[in-house]
Amino acid sequence: MIVDQFVDIAVKRGELVEADRVYVTNRLLDLLGWSEKRAVAVDVAADRLAMLDQLTELAVASGVISEALAEREIWQSKVMDLFVPRPSELNAEFWELYERSPREATDYFYEISKASDYIKTRSIAKNIEYRVETMYGELEMTINLSKPEKDPKQIALEKAVKTVAYPLCPLCLENEGYAGRVDFPARTNHRIVRLRVGDEGWGLQYSPYAYYDEHCIFLSAEHRPMVIERATFARLVEITAQFPDYFVGSNADLPIVGGSILSHDHYQGGRHTFAMAKAPVHNDFPTYSWGAFPDVTVEIVKWPMSVIRLRAASGTDIVAAADAILQKWKSYSDASVGILAYSNEERHNTVTPIASRCVVDGESLFELALVLRNNRRTAEHPEGLFHPHQELHHIKKENIGLIEVMGLAVLPPRLKPELEEVARYLLDQPNAMADYHKEWADRLKRDGGFDASSMTDFVQQEVGKVFEQVLTDAGVFKDTEDGIRAFDRFMKSMMETEEIENEDK
């Protein structure tokens, strides 16, 4: 009996107490559209999610839902919600565990998010992942195959649905427990841990389609636009104080260089060490001594983008130093390297900040990396001067957000079949290679260095080189003699300005 076996799994996992077995069984029967149990066989080797798929097919057969992807996801979310603690129960357990260890608390929440199928582990496993060694370290590459493609029926359903403004966006607290619609994701089994950051209410959740270890989101309880300001740095630093095992960073707050959801203030974090965090100090820069902040270490990172790394024992000091950099950068121009702070009244300069904890010589420190960004467009580069340039768009043309900034490429799913055609082209086999890959593929063919046995690895490595160039394009001060001199000018100008202002005070 599939229903009994499915409920048995939850009891054995400790998600359901025996006293609730009958209640949950009847709830599941109702979701299936059954008035009684039915003798449906199940593969003895089937795992929980395979059984969930079988139950979904039974719901379709019963006429409870259609074959539409959205209806199936909504139904599955409702089923798994039967085995997830209510928000109040989950929060109580989380904070009780937190008193013992933040790690125990996040482990608990992370495991529930996976077990409930909120984190789409099976879909994530479809992603193509590999690494590429470069002069800047080992870049991580992901061809994102986890999010299911919308079929024509799904697209038609979304077009036909009446516009609804609830929840306001996919990051609002109101998503918790929301059933979903054909044009909005199912969130019945979704849970958010409530926390305080400063004097504000915030939430912690995990990303359903994670790109790295324990990919999580910290979100404001208030639906408000993202802004990079002093308070942003203070919140990031405080979050790392609360969750020292996690990094946390914010997308920039301007179009082109910002994230996909700028309407809701939020940060991304997790337990993962990116290549940028492991990158060494850039040897071509001096060791800066900042008189205004003598207890803050200032380093320029050897990275294709322009990164200032701050370290300090005091959260207050590092926040003040970061704000001083931001304020100077927002109004800074250097036409010799294409940097203009404003076009008329449109601001172009902002930062992508990433906070974490580190240990240096046995001392626990706050670390805050500020990646300088500029979203200026030009006639030659209408998508953005410091954005992947046109010749790279065949591989990556989307915004370079927080995750890519740190060295993890999130590439579109179209590349899986397209790169297979590129490989056939390189081997002079019949192919249907897209025209926009031809210039790149012809250069690869001229350069050689591949054969049939190593073709997959060869193409992947070449895509990694393209991503390295993508990051280089996005860097405001290039890692060249001219760029290094220009970066040093900014640093000295910024430090001198801050010291003069402090003296005036």
Spatial distance between the Cα atoms of 255 and 502, rounded to a whole number of angstroms: 33
Spatial distance between the Cα atoms of 380 and 389, rounded to a whole number of angstroms: 9
- Quote the Cα angle for 7-13-14, to 5°: 95
Number of Cβ atoms within 10 Å of the Cβ of 384 = 21
The predicted structure's pLDDT at residue 293: 95
- For 26, the 3-state DSSP assignment is helix
The predicted structure's pLDDT at residue 501: 54
Q: What are phi and psi of 173, to 5 degrees?
A: -60, -25
Instruction: Tell me, letter by letter, the H, E, C secondary structure of 138-152.
Output: EEEEEECCCCCCCCH
The predicted structure's pLDDT at residue 25: 96
Domain residue ranges in the chain: 1-64, 211-386+475-504
- For 358, the 3-state DSSP assignment is strand
Token digits of residue 283: 């040897």
Residue 280 carries which DSSP code? P
Residue 184 carries which DSSP code? B
Number of Cβ atoms within 10 Å of the Cβ of 365 = 19
Number of Cβ atoms within 10 Å of the Cβ of 265 = 24
Listed as ranges, residues in the chain with pLDDT below 70 are: 44-45, 148-162, 498-505
The predicted structure's pLDDT at residue 505: 47
Of the candidates 171, 208, 214, the residue with the CA atom closest to the CA atom of residue 80: 208
Residue 486 carries which DSSP code? H
The predicted structure's pLDDT at residue 260: 76
Nearest 10 degrees: Cα torsion 471, 472, 474, 479: 130
- Quote the Cα angle for 91-367-272, to 5°: 55
| Whether the Cβ atoms of residue 320 and residue 310 lie closer than 8 Å to each other | no
Q: Find how far residue 59's CA is from the centre of its chain.
A: 34
